[in-house]
Structure 1
Amino acid sequence: MRQQFQNPTGTTFLITEFDQQNNWIYNNWQGLLTMENIQQGSYGILDIIQQSQCPYLLTDNTHLLGSWKHGNDWLEKVWIPQALAAGMTYYAHVKAPGVFGQASVEDMHLRVGSRLPLQLFDEMEDAVAWLREMQALDAKNQGPVSLI
């Protein structure tokens, strides 16, 4: 299952999909994000979490431009509780290259890092390795493990 989200000008701002082979939900955010983009895309991700029942998220912000900090209050208060209720357990987040994107995710981590294992990474390889480690722990323990 895959969804692609575009802004009114037809520019893609998110591709999200359940990657069955790796057993995670991959989110590729791109460009500049408006509050509407953040909400629309996040609800699309939530839909995939609910349909797939997959607890592992891999978010790639390496193609994101600028800040998305304006969405953090909504993400913290509305989306994160819904995603947790839907079964999201592990969140690997590859940071954007720019200072504004990095500040946005660091703010998000401060807000929700105590409620879910949200790990921040500079490189995709490190995020993938961490998710695989969490999957191995889950397989060993027969289900998601609370790291909090």
Structure 2
Amino acid sequence: MPRQVAVDTETYTIEIDEDIDAILHTWNEFVAGQEFRDGCHELLDVIERNDKSKLLVDTSGFQAHDDADKEWLEDEWIPQSIEAGIDYSVSVTGDSVISEMEMEEFVDQTQHLDYTFVMAGSLDEAREWLDEQ
């Protein structure tokens, strides 16, 4: 079954992928602050409306997140996404060493939460991992 586009903006695209029973969130360009948080809130709305437990976030276009946004993700958004039903989350990172180091740190900081968060080097790798969950 093809992907169903739930939200499509200049900044991001949110899709439902029934083949792997997941929600895909692709950031098309770097954003920070309120614009980043608005995109995350819209993703949360899609999660709540579609009853999915798996999430794939493609941040391959990002070099790094703003520190305040990382803190907000960990403290507020991720617990809300878990409450909405997300059990498995995978993030596709860019080729940047900075991006990879940042995501590894983020994985470490979220280990205490009641869900599984991993990184993948490609969209195919991320889809394969989610399909196995």
Q: Please classify the TM superposition score into its range, dividing by the shorter chain length.
A: 0.7 to 0.9
| Residue 128 of structure 2 corresponds to residue 124 of structure 1 | no
Closer, same or farther in 2 for the Cα pair 1:4/1:113, shift >3 Å?
A: farther
Residue in 1 aligned with 2:46?
Answer: 48
Paired residue type of 1:68:
H
TM alignment of 1:53-132, pairs within 5 A: 53-62=51-60, 64-70=61-67, 71-115=69-113, 116-132=115-131
Aligned residues: 127
Q: CA deviation at 1:100?
A: 3.0
Closer, same or farther in 2 for the Cα pair 1:84/1:112, shift >3 Å?
A: same
Q: CA deviation at 1:2?
A: 1.1
Paired residue type of 1:112:
T
In 2, Cα distance between equivalents of 1:100 and 1:4: 28
Paired residue type of 1:111:
Q
Which whole-Å deviations, capped at 9, do the CAs of 1:39-96 have from their partners, x for residues lacking one? 011111100110001001111122x132114211000111011100000010011112
| Residue 8 of structure 2 corresponds to residue 4 of structure 1 | yes
Gaps of 5+ in 1: 6-11, 135-148
Residue in 1 aligned with 2:30?
Answer: 32
Which whole-Å deviations, capped at 9, do the CAs of 1:104-134 have from their partners, x for residues lacking one? 3223212113312001111222211111110
In 2, Cα distance between equivalents of 1:101 and 1:13: 19
Q: Whose RCO is larger (CA < 8 A, sep 6+)? A: 2
In 2, Cα distance between equivalents of 1:20 and 1:77: 29
- Decide which structure has the larger Cα Rg and report it: 1
Residue in 2 aligned with 1:133?
Answer: 132
Paired residue type of 1:91:
S
In 2, Cα distance between equivalents of 1:22 and 1:110: 26
